[in-house]
Amino acid sequence: MSREEKLVSDPISSTRMVGRVLVVESDNPPVNALGHAVRKGLHDAAKAAESPDVDAVVIACKGRTFHAGADIREFGKPPQAPGLGEVIDAFEALQKPVVAAIHGTALGGGLEVALGCDYRVAAPSAKIGLPEVKLGLLPGAGGTQRLPRLIGAVAALGPIVTGEPIPAKKAKEMGAIDEIIEGDLVEGAVAFARKLVADKAPLRPLSKMDAPKTDMAAFDEAAAKLLRRSRGLKAPSVNAQAVKNAVTLPFAEGMKKEREYFLDLVSGEESKAQRHAFFAEREAAKVPGVTKDVKARPINKMAVLGAGTMGGGITMSFASAGIPVTIIDLNPEALDRGMKIIEKNYRATQARGGLTEAQVDKALANITPSSNFDDVADADMVIEAVFENMDLKKKIFKDLDAKCKPGCVLASNTSTLDVDEIAAVTSRPQDVLGMHFFSPANVMRLLEIVRGDKTAPDVLKTAMEVGKKGGKVPVVVGVCYGFVGNRMLHARGAQVRKLLLEGASPVEVDGALTKFGMAMGPLQMSDMAGLDVGWRIRQETGAKDPVGDALHEMGRHGQKTKAGYYLYEEGSRTPIPDPEVDALIAKVAKEQGIKRREIDEKEVFERLMFSMINEAAKILDEGIALRPSDIDVIYLYGYGFPMGKGGPMFYADSVTPAYIADRLNIYADNTGDEELRPCPYLARLAEQGTTFAADAAAGSKAA
Ligand code: 3HC
Ligand code: NAI
């Protein structure tokens, strides 16, 4: 480099001349979010770049990533100039080449900065994307207008409507990245910029260009296909419309619309809920006692015990993430069946285009089937997923204690059993914890990590890190029956059974929740899981469900027998209401002396939802969940709670604990069901007129 000179330098932004190329670098850890100070630094740099001594500009970032977006924490606060649009316009207006040098993730506003540049170069591992839709928003600084102009409206639709990131190599194929730079990125970007100057390469201000010619029929078809997966959320369709504007309207008008849409979405309830979910997920990673200096144990090899429904899915999650897994089932037939299902699932994903053949082959090569228990010996972590039986689990953990190497993490996927009791049979309870996956475990992202009395902090950290590597969202919970998610579901289940007998139909029960946006109603869920599962549990626990028992005895085991609470046509999962079931419920109610009545939709919904929230309040009070937002993460990622509602506790706060307590008292009085009575913690929040979130922030959880 001929001449390198520092021009501006503050902790967040710096500029330096490398020869006649101005290099602008931001340094705003952790993700170079485009907060006010960063925008100001960039804006000043754009002004400095006007100097005749500057031939070209490179925009880059220090630290782990290029700008990963606007600073989400600033949303909802009064805007501070310069706005991001102003910054981007200032660079785009320069009459000299501007090059974005991207590493890490150029997301949202970050990619929009790069789209305001004439050219984009990237490190091979970089990704670009416009994930605003996942926050209930749309790109608000020209992304919806510039990306379609760069790569075409149909190609831009997917990334904008789904928010999924694009790896650098693919982005280059699509024309969003001009060059991949191996080695030092900024040096490479400067060399690239110099060549542009030498070649007198054209400037490419996207705002002055038209989008490539678009087949509108193909566009509408692609948009309709993407929107089918948007589950009633508003942002995806608004994003699609904005992209369409990029081809149907002049740039300035498209930008005006984009702004209008952004302001509408950012102030709406859905976006608030989705932003809450974003931070809730990150908050869940913060666990008392698991400080930054606690080091996770390395997991280079895993063993999974049990090749059934859960063992297979768990194995897939980690094999796909590149961890060698030995899957052990003492029953060779079960092992063989389990392996066949694993392979079938992988190939189905491949057929749908979710994985390439090479990726599937690689994942399968990471899996070693075995019927020999001794193969746990070289594992760094064992996840047990055998039948739900305490004696069996105790025996297995005793054997694991004898066979596993020191330091091996011993996890149980139990959904109900006491992890402390399991840990107590070993000589190393500090290495034992629960890792509660959700079915299908290769798909569902929630992972409840059950912290035992004696679980060591580094063991907890190891489980969280490895879970994240396996694509999961880990949430730490305490020991109790059903942990957090299923315990709340049990409370709701009691209301489901009562509502049916008191007068609601299966369609009314499920409809109350699906109308709210839940992926499925409780009875549809029972039919999917199989009514024999619940029946078997009731045989062991003595729990009562006369309707469920009667259906089971009639051979109606749910979807698999084409009849349960509903009927199902061959090969279909669509529930069809069955008058025979209505008659059966009426008969059972009569036998029990229950006088049935019309129950309005509001009561059905509130008893189902508020009973869960009441249980959640007990869970918080007992310290089983660390904070209300953790419960939101659990329901959003494990139970199909609608993203746009932010989770049960965010929803509870939006209607207020006072309202919920009031309604629960009314229902308890009217039905005589004391289980509906607000628990002391909920009652206290109601009395104080506060919310779960505010109370947690004030740090006073206990009643
Ligand atoms: N604003 C504010 N804070 C952010 C942020 C953002 N855009 N992105 C990440 N952070 C914070 C996180 O909250 C977290 O904070 P914490 O340590 O206090 O919990 C920290 O940065 C690190 O984030 P992660 O734990 O998520 O780090 P990862 O390495 O796992 O992931 C990432 C990095 C892929 C960049 C991920 O953080 C991410 O996806 N961020 C959001 C990206 C995004 O949505 N950008 C669009 C924003 S909206 C926008 O740009 C509007 C524009 O169009 C006008
Ligand atoms: P499953 O019945 O499908 O599979 C259990 C497997 O364990 C069988 O293949 C069996 O051969 C094998 N097995 C039994 N004893 C063994 C031993 N000593 N060593 C090795 N393998 C042995 O059961 P599923 O549904 O996979 O459940 C497993 C565990 O996961 C249970 O604890 C369950 O509570 C829990 N769980 C289940 C969920 C579900 O939706 N099915 C969800 C979350 C947790």
601 part of the active site: no
Q: CA of 449: how far to CAs of 73, 473, 529, 624, 634, in Å?
A: 28, 10, 23, 11, 11
Query: Do residue 474 and residue 567 come from a single domain?
Result: no
Instruction: Note whether residue 683 is domain-resident.
Output: no
Indicate the top mutation candidate among 387, 403, 446, 526 to test ligand 2's pocket, ranked by most ligand atoms within 8 A of CB. Answer: 387
**Residue of the CA atom closest to atom 22 of ligand 1:** 30
Q: What is the CA radius of gyration of the chain?
A: 28
Q: Which residues contact 23 (CB under 8 A, 6 or more apart)?
A: 15, 16, 17, 57, 58, 60, 186, 190
d(Cα 375, Cα 327) in Å, to the nearest integer?
A: 9
Q: Do 469 and 558 belong to one domain? A: no
Q: Do 90 and 40 contact (CB within 8 A), yes or no?
A: no
Please give the single-letter amino acid code of residue 583.
Answer: A
H/E element, 157: helix 153-162
Q: What is the mean pLDDT of residues 270-278?
A: 97
Structure token digits, residue 488: 């709340």
| Annotated catalytic residue 333 | no
Gap between the Cα atoms of 233 and 226, Å rounded: 12
- Statement to judge: residues 479 and 508 lie in one domain: no
pLDDT per residue as tens digits for the range 40-91? 999 999 999 999 999 999 999 999 999 999 999 999 889 899 999 999 999 9
Q: What was the pLDDT predicted at 10? A: 65
Same domain, 467 and 511: no
Q: Whose CA is nearest to atom 1 of ligand 1?
A: 71
| Residue 649 forms part of a structural domain | no
Banded pLDDT at 2 (limits 50, 70, 90)? very low
- Catalytic one of 92, 112, 281, 508: 112
CA distance 249 to 80: 29
Cα 540–Cα 631–Cα 384 angle in degrees, nearest 5: 45
Is residue 26 helix, strand or coil?
Answer: strand
Number of residues written out for the chain: 703
CATH of the domain at 42: 3.90.226.10
pTM attached to this predicted model: 0.93
Q: How far is the CA of 500 from the centre of ligand 2 (A)?
A: 31
308-334: average pLDDT? 97
Q: Which two tokens stand for residue 208?
A: 């002055």
Q: Is residue 117 part of a domain?
A: yes
Which of 576, 596, 616 lies at the terminal end of a domain, its last residue?
Answer: 596
State mean pLDDT over 136-142. 98
Name the burial class of residue 329, with classes exposed (0-12), middle (13-18) and buried (19+) by CB atoms within 10 angstroms of its CB.
buried
Same domain membership, residue 133 and residue 245? yes
Alpha carbon of residue 559 to chain centroid: 28
Q: Which ligand is nearest to the CA of 328?
A: 2
Looking at residue 219, its pLDDT comes to 97
Domain total of the chain: 3
Domain ranges, residue 317: 302-483
On whether both 391 and 437 belong to a single domain, the answer is yes
257 and 306 in a single domain? The answer is: no
The tokens describing 363, both together, are 């994942």
First CA to last CA distance, the chain = 66
Atom of ligand 2 nearest to the CA of 312: 26
Query: How remote is the CA of residue 637 from the centroid of ligand 1, in Å?
Result: 18
ipTM of the complex in this document: 0.95
Examine the domain organization and report whether 512 and 380 are in the same domain.
no
Q: What's the CATH code of the domain at 569?
A: 1.10.1040.50
Mutational test site, ligand 2, from 304, 316, 328, 329, max ligand atoms within 8 Å of CB: 329
Q: Name the band, by pLDDT with cuts 50, 70 and 90, for residue 534.
A: confident
Give the mutation target among 66, 72, 147 for probing the ligand 1 site: most ligand atoms within 8 A of CB.
72
Mean pLDDT of 572-598: 96
User: Residue-wise over 549-571: b if at least 16 C-beta within 10 A, else e?
Assistant: bbbbeeebbbbebbbbbbbbeee
Q: Is 105 in the pocket of ligand 1 (CB under 6 A)?
A: yes
Please write the tens of the pLDDT for every residue from 539-560.
888 889 999 999 999 999 999 9
- Cα 7 to ligand 1 centroid, rounded to whole Å: 29
Rounded distance, CA 576 to CA 568, Å?
6
**703 pLDDT tier (thresholds 50, 70, 90):** very low
Residue 31 Cβ < 6 Å to ligand 1 = yes
